[in-house]
Amino acid sequence: MSLKGLITILSPAIEAELQRQITRLDKPRTRPFYEILTYHMGWTGEGAGSEAQGKRIRPLLVLITCSACNADWKDALPAAAAVELIHNFSLVHDDIQDNSSQRRGRDTVWVKWGKPQGINAGDSLFVLSNQAILDLALTYPSEVVIKAARILHDTCLDLTCGQYLDMSYEQRTDLTTEDYWPMIGGKTAALLAACSALGSLLSEVDEVAQNAYRDFGYYLGLAFQVQDDFLGIWGDSVLTGKSAESDLVSGKKSLPVMFGLGKKGPFYRRLTEGPVHPEEVTGLAEELAAEGARLYTQESADRMTDLALQSLHRANPQGEAGEALFELANKLLNRES
Amino acid sequence: MSLKGLITILSPAIEAELQRQITRLDKPRTRPFYEILTYHMGWTGEGAGSEAQGKRIRPLLVLITCSACNADWKDALPAAAAVELIHNFSLVHDDIQDNSSQRRGRDTVWVKWGKPQGINAGDSLFVLSNQAILDLALTYPSEVVIKAARILHDTCLDLTCGQYLDMSYEQRTDLTTEDYWPMIGGKTAALLAACSALGSLLSEVDEVAQNAYRDFGYYLGLAFQVQDDFLGIWGDSVLTGKSAESDLVSGKKSLPVMFGLGKKGPFYRRLTEGPVHPEEVTGLAEELAAEGARLYTQESADRMTDLALQSLHRANPQGEAGEALFELANKLLNRES
C-alpha cells in the first residue's frame, strides 16, 4: 500500500481519536470552551475542513512508524493524539506570542476569543495531551506507558527551551549558525523525534531500533526546517512578486539569516540598521547568497536529509508501512523517491 | 510534634525538591530562562525570600497527608513538587490573563520579561510538573505512578475549566450562586483535593480512605475560598480605610456578589450600571448584607468547613501528622482548634 493509501486509512482514525480526547471538555457548562478547541482543530466554525486541520504529519508519523515496526497502529492512537495535541497547544500559544492573526487561512483563537481565553485554550490542549498519553494504559504495560509519558514530557521541555531561544533572538543581531541548531532542535525537531520514538516504543523493536527511529524523526525535522528556511528567502514565490512574504521582511531568524549575521559583512550591517522593506528583498537575497548563505543552507539541508535517511535505514522499517516512511520523508523533503 | 514543628522539617525538603525539579532547565544556553523561574519561585532577584515563595500549602498538604497515612513523606516529595509547580504555572498565566502587575509583593513575571516569555515560562512550569510526577517511579510501582499522574492531569483539566468559567463571568451580571460552585470547584478546590488524594495514594490506605482524603482537600478548598470571599467584602481591612481593595471595586465575581446578582434587587441594579467606586463600598456592602448575602456566605463557609472536617474524620488520619492536618485545616479556616 502506498503512503497515500495508508493516509486514507489512518486519517479518519486520527481525527476520531482527537475528537474523543477533546470530548473530555464537552460538558454543559464548558461547551463554549470546548468549541474554542473544536474551532482550532478545524472541525467547526468558519472555514472548517481539511485545510483548517493541517496535515496531521505528527500523528501519521507515530502510526506509520508503529506499523513499520510490525505492531498494530490502532493501539498507538492515544500517543498519536497526544503529539498532535502538543503541536496544537504550541501553535495556539505561538500565535499569541507572535501576535499572529491568521493560522491555516483562518482567524487565530486569540483573535476570536481574546488572549486570556487563548492562553487557557492552549493550556487545555496541553492537559488533554497529558491525559491522552495515559490512555495507552488501556493496552500497554504500565512501564511502557511511563516511558511514553517521559518521552512526551521531555520533548515538551525541549519545546519550551526552543521557544525561549527563538523569542530571545528576536531583537538580537549578534547571532551565528551555532545559535540556530539548539533553537530549531527544540522548536521543530524534538516533537518529530518524539513521534518516531513513540511509534517504535509501542512495538516490540529493541532500544537500538528505537534510537534509530528517534534520530530519523529528529533529522527529518531539522531537514524540513532548513529547507523551509531556504525557501523563505530563495523560494520562487518569495522572489517573484510576493516579496512581502520573505523571511527577510518578517525578520525571522532563519538559518541563512543567522549565517549572514555571523559573517558580519554587508548583510549584517544592513540588518542592524532596521526592518527590511519588500523592495529590498531581491537584492538582499542575492547579497546573502554571495556571502555563502545559500550554499551553506543547501548543504545543511542535504546533510540533515542524509542523516535522516541513514537513520531510517538503520531502523530497518518493515513492509508497506516501512516503504511509506521513506516516501513520507522524501515527500516532506521535496525529493523524488 | 505540632504543625509548626512539622512545617519546619518539611519546608526545606520541599524547597530542595522544587529546586531539583527546576534545575532541569539550568543549562548554559537556557540559563536566563531558568532564572525567570527561580525569580518567580521566590529564590532569586529583588525581594527573594520566604515572603516571595508563598506558604507552599499544597506540597505541605501532600506530605502531611502521606505522613498521616503512616507512609514516609520523603518518597512523596516529587508529587509535592508537582502540585506546587502546577499552582505556580497557573499563577504565572493568571497574572498575564488578569493583567496583574504584582504577586507576593513583587513584579510579576510578565512585567519583567514581557507576556510572550511569561506565557512560555508558565508552560515550562507545567512541563516540569509533569516530569516531577513521573519521578515517583523511583520509589513506587508503575501502576501507582500512573494513578498519580492521572490525578494530576484530571485536576489540571478542572483548573482550565474553572479558569474558563471565571474569565467568561467577567462581563456578565446574569449570574447566580449556582454559577459559583463549578467555577471555584475547578479554580481552587480541585488542586487541594489532588494534594490530599495524592498524599494518601502514596501510602497503603485503601480507596475509601483515599476518597475521604480527597473530599477533605476539596471542601477545605471551598471553605477557604468562601471565607476569603467573605473577607473580600466584609473584612475589617476592606471596610476600614482600604476600601479600594474591596472585591466590589475590583469587580471580582465572588460568592456574595453572585448571590446579590441572583437576587435581582438594588445591588444587582447598581452592578449593571458599571464599575463600583471606593466611596460606595461601605454602603454597597451593607446593601448586600441586607439582601441576605452575608448570612448566605457565612453559612456556606460553615457548611464547607463542616464537610471538610467530617471528611477528615472519616479519613481517620494517624499520629502527630494526623493532628497536624486538623490543625492545618483549623488554621486555614481561621478557627481555634
pLDDT in tens, A107-164: 999 999 999 999 999 999 999 999 999 999 999 999 999 999 999 999 999 999 999 9
Nearest by CB to A119, from B24, B119, B149: name it: B119
Q: Is 60 exceeded by the pLDDT of residue A336? A: no
CB proximity under 8 Å: A 116-135 to B: 116-117, 119-120, 123-124, 126-128, 130-131, 134
pLDDT in the model for residue A317: 98
Q: Is 80 exceeded by the pLDDT of residue A278? A: yes
pLDDT tens digits along B193-224:
999 999 999 999 999 999 999 999 999 999 99
* pLDDT (average), residues B270-290: 95
pLDDT in the model for residue B337: 44
Chain A partners of B136 at a C-beta cutoff of 8 Å? none
B156 vs A130: CB contact, 8 Å cut-off?
yes
A146 vs B143: CB contact, 8 Å cut-off?
no
Select the residue from A37, A153, A181 to test the B interface by mutation, using most B Cβ atoms within 10 A. A153
* pLDDT (average), residues B285-310: 97
pLDDT in the model for residue B88: 98
- Out of A116-130, B135-149, B224-238, which region has the weakest mean confidence (pLDDT)? B224-238
Rounded to the nearest 10°, the torsion over CA A18, A23, A25, A28 is 150
- Provide the CA A212 distance to its chain's centre, in angstroms: 19
Q: Which CATH superfamily is domain A3-332 in?
A: Farnesyl Diphosphate Synthase (1.10.600.10)
pLDDT tens digits along B234-270:
998 777 655 678 999 999 999 999 999 999 999 999 9
pLDDT in the model for residue B334: 76
Nearest of A179, A51, A175 to residue A104 by alpha carbon:
A51
- Please give the share of chain B, as a percent, with pLDDT higher than 70: 98
Q: Identify the closest residue of chain A to B116 by CA–CA distance.
A: A97
Question: How many CB pairs below 8 Å do chains A and B form together?
Answer: 139
H helix count then E strand count, chain B: 18, 2
- Please give the share of chain A, as a percent, with pLDDT higher than 90: 93
CB B221 within 8 A of CB B250: no
pLDDT in the model for residue A337: 44
pLDDT in the model for residue B219: 98
Nearest of A245, A239, A250, A256 to residue A298 by alpha carbon:
A256
* Chain mean pLDDT for chain A: 95
CB B125 within 8 A of CB B89: yes
Q: Is 80 exceeded by the pLDDT of residue A239? A: no
- Out of A230-244, A291-305, A307-321, B212-226, which region has the weakest mean confidence (pLDDT)? A230-244
Q: Identify the closest residue of chain B to A137 by CA–CA distance.
A: B146
Q: Cell 497574572: give the residue.
A: B95
* pLDDT (average), residues B165-190: 97
Alpha-helical regions (H) of B135-206: 142-169, 177-184, 190-201
Nearest by CB to B123, from A98, A115, A160: name it: A160
CB proximity under 8 Å: B 131-190 to A: 131, 134, 137, 141-143, 145-146, 149-150, 152-154, 156-157, 159-161, 163-165, 167-168, 182
Nearest of B89, B29, B21 to residue A164 by alpha carbon:
B29
Nearest by CB to B160, from A27, A96, A127: name it: A127
Please tell me the distance in Å from A15's CA to the nearest CA on chain B. Answer: 21
Alpha-helical regions (H) of chain A: 3-22, 31-40, 50-53, 57-68, 77-97, 109-113, 115-134, 142-169, 177-184, 190-201, 207-234, 236-239, 247-250, 255-263, 266-272, 281-290, 293-315, 319-332
Specify the higher pLDDT residue, B243 or A36: A36
pLDDT in the model for residue A245: 81
Q: Alpha-carbon distance A290 to A221, whole Å? A: 27
Which amino acid does the sequence have at A143?
A: E
Residues in CB range of B300: below 8 A, 6 or more apart: B226, B255
Burial class of residue B251, CB neighbours in 10 A (0-12, 13-18, 19+): middle
Helix axes B142-169, B77-97, angle to 10 degrees: 20
B163 vs A96: CB contact, 8 Å cut-off?
no
CB A250 within 8 A of CB A236: no
Chain B partners of A153 at a C-beta cutoff of 8 Å? 127, 130-131, 134
Kindly calculate the radius of gyration of chain B based on its CA atoms and give it in whole angstroms.
20
Q: Cell 477545605: give the residue.
A: B220
- Out of A8-12, A41-45, A332-336, which region has the weakest mean confidence (pLDDT)? A332-336
Q: Kindly state whether B240 is in contact with chain A, defined as any CB-CB distance less than 8 angstroms.
A: no
Helix axes B255-263, B281-290, angle to 10 degrees: 70
For chain B, which residues make up each domain, given as ranges? 3-332
- Please give the share of chain B, as a percent, with pLDDT higher than 90: 93
Which pTM value belongs to this model?
0.97
* Segment A202-211 long-range contacts (CB within 8 Å, at least 24 positions apart): A202/A66, A202/A71, A202/A75, A202/A76, A202/A79, A202/A136, A202/A140, A202/A144, A202/A148, A203/A66, A203/A69, A203/A70, A203/A71, A204/A69, A204/A70, A204/A71, A205/A69, A205/A70, A205/A315, A209/A69, A209/A314, A209/A315, A209/A316
Task: Give the confidence band of B87 by pLDDT, cuts at 50, 70, 90.
Answer: very high
pLDDT in the model for residue B241: 58
Q: Alpha-carbon distance B176 to B189, whole Å? A: 19
CB proximity under 8 Å: B 64-93 to A: 93
Nearest by CB to B127, from A119, A131, A153: name it: A153
Q: Is 50 exceeded by the pLDDT of residue B138? A: yes
Nearest by CB to A160, from B97, B120, B182: name it: B120
Please tell me the distance in Å from A82's CA to the nearest CA on chain B. Answer: 13
Q: Kindly state whether A32 is in contact with chain B, defined as any CB-CB distance less than 8 angstroms.
A: yes
Nearest of B324, B282, B335 to residue B3 by alpha carbon:
B324
pLDDT tens digits along A148-206:
999 999 999 999 999 999 999 999 999 999 999 999 999 999 999 999 999 999 999 99
